[in-house]
Amino acid sequence: MTTRYPDPGEPTPPRILLVDDEAAIVGTLTTFLQLSGFAVEVAHNGEQALEKLEQLRPDLVVLDVLMPRLDGREALRRMRRRGDWTPVILLTQISGTAERIMALEEGADDYLNKPFDPHELIARIRAVLRRARPGQPPLSAAETLASGPLRFDRRSRRVYLQNKEITLTPKAVLLLEYLMTHPDELVSRDRLLDVVWGWDYPVGTRAVDTRIAELRRALDDDASDPRYVETVPGQGYRFVGRVEGGR
């Protein structure tokens, strides 16, 4: 299934490779993506996806995890092992925080838990394309993250400010990690709640605000003139510092 491309002279729409083995989902998402201004190519398993990646060079891959023949996680690992850093959004059905973080560390740029609102997928695609670094690993695959004097060592789970280690609760560390791997992206409280606590955890979005306040105290970050975490009233938070990834 392929979109019709625009006439010569018109801007070429971003090309999305949609990989899912469920025909109903493929049909719905293909139509929605096309109506949102994207060109769409389809694969039905991980093996087809790897072949089409070589042929088509899409701008982004939307990759289901649970598929026959070759699942999405293994397809992603093979992409990254061969040096293919095409942005990837995983469509998952995982509930544990550790599993979600692992998916990002394996090289996914972002993920969505099924079932999801197609509008959320469109927003996530546009955000990933904005921060994509062509030919380079995503920040989610970096071992260290740095923003000015702030440094986060993801392997040791330690955070440093002005070369001095600061103490944070585990949830605050996870919040900081997600925000730093999604710089300049407005992230809703609901999204942060899902990422850090999971929807099955009995807390509300006030828990997010509490941990953000903890981050601000530890980072000496003024909410009225933030260097790192900006509050967008009624919507969520945004990491406003420039972030560099390292190995």
Rounded CA separation 98/79 (Å): 22
- pLDDT for 178: 92
Topology of domain 15-131, per CATH?
Answer: Rossmann fold (3.40.50)
- pLDDT for 6: 46
Q: Is the peptide bond before 115 cis (omega within 30 degrees of 0)?
A: yes
- Pick left, alpha or beta for residue 123 (phi over 0 → left; psi -120 to 50 → alpha; otherwise beta): alpha
Break the chain into its structural domains and give their ranges. 15-131, 142-246
> Taking Cα atoms as reference points, which of 90, 118, 65, 93 lies closest to residue 198?
93
Instruction: Beginning with the edge strand found earlier in the chain, give each strand of the sheet holding 150-153 in spatial order.
Output: 164-166, 158-161, 150-153, 144-147, 244-246
56 by Cβ neighbours in 10 Å (0-12 / 13-18 / 19+) ranks as middle
- pLDDT for 199: 61
Number of residues in the chain: 247
- pLDDT for 161: 97
Q: Which residues of the chain have pLDDT under 50?
A: 3-6
Residue type, 179: L
Domain 142-246 belongs in CATH node 1.10.287.10:
no
| pTM as predicted | 0.79
**Dihedral sign for Cα atoms in the order 132, 17, 91, 120:** positive
Give the three-state DSSP class for 246. strand
